[in-house]
Chains A and B, each alone.
Chain A
Amino acid sequence: DTAVSQTPKYLVTQMGNDKSIKCEQNLGHDTMYWYKQDSKKFLKIMFSYNNKELIINETVPNRFSPKSPDKAHLNLHINSLELGDSAVYFCASSQGTARNEQYFGPGTRLTVT
């Protein structure tokens, strides 16, 4: 059973397009996250939702918009894609926001050409 799943796994698109990445977790967690991992493997948090409420919103261009329809899902929509958006995007989930383990999804490799 997949704990945190993401679709698609690979996404190749052209500059200026709009795309979405979907994330689902079946762990019963109440907190979900989006991370960006750049070409140097640096992991940086972008957003976090707790019980469908946005609690972390890092300095991310407003072309990126997360949406949490329910506690088990957190989607990421990106408008007007740019070359610099190319990266691997990871979804993660945890129970609560304090010292609990975050479970990561397999990642979505986004390539903008």
Chain B
Amino acid sequence: QQQVKQSPQSLIVQKGGISIINCAYENTAFDYFPWYQQFPGKGPALLIAIRPDVSEKKEGRFTISFNKSAKQFSLHIMDSQPGDSATYFCAARGGSNYKLTFGKGTLLTVNP
């Protein structure tokens, strides 16, 4: 049972464009929603995270939008740069053991 569904699987954006990655979750016990960025050959690194008591969080060019009623959240990358090319994972945590459940990842390619 996949508790966090992520789309699209891959995304190609031109430099300067907006990249949008979407995630949906099922478990209403989730209360922490991070996004991780992973470059080839490296471990995932936290990019930005949100709690369900806010609808949006912005850090530089990265914004999370959160819709609690729809159980959906998304990552927006403004002014996308070739250096943003990486795999992005959404995740959700909550429940009795605080396990972090990951989406399947989105491979973002930003063309120069």
List the interface of chain A (C-beta within 8 A of B). 4, 40-45, 48, 55-56, 58, 90, 92, 97-99, 101-107
List the interface of chain B (C-beta within 8 A of A). 31-32, 34, 36, 38, 41-46, 49, 51, 87, 89, 93, 97-102, 104-105, 107
Please state if B32 and A102 are interface contacts (CB–CB under 8 Å).
no
* Majority secondary structure, B binding face: strand
- Residue from the list A43, A48, A58, A101 in contact with B46, Cβ < 8 A: A101
Please state if B98 and A97 are interface contacts (CB–CB under 8 Å).
yes
- Residue from the list A45, A56, A101, A105 in contact with B34, Cβ < 8 A: A101
Please state if B46 and A45 are interface contacts (CB–CB under 8 Å).
no
- Residue from the list B31, B41, B42, B46 in contact with A102, Cβ < 8 A: B46
Residue of chain B at shortest CB distance from A42: B104
Please state if B100 and A102 are interface contacts (CB–CB under 8 Å).
yes
Contacts of A99 in B (CB 8 A): 31-32, 49, 51, 93
Would you give the shortest CB distance from A108 to chain B, in whole angstroms? 10
- Residue from the list B32, B45, B101, B107 in contact with A104, Cβ < 8 A: B45
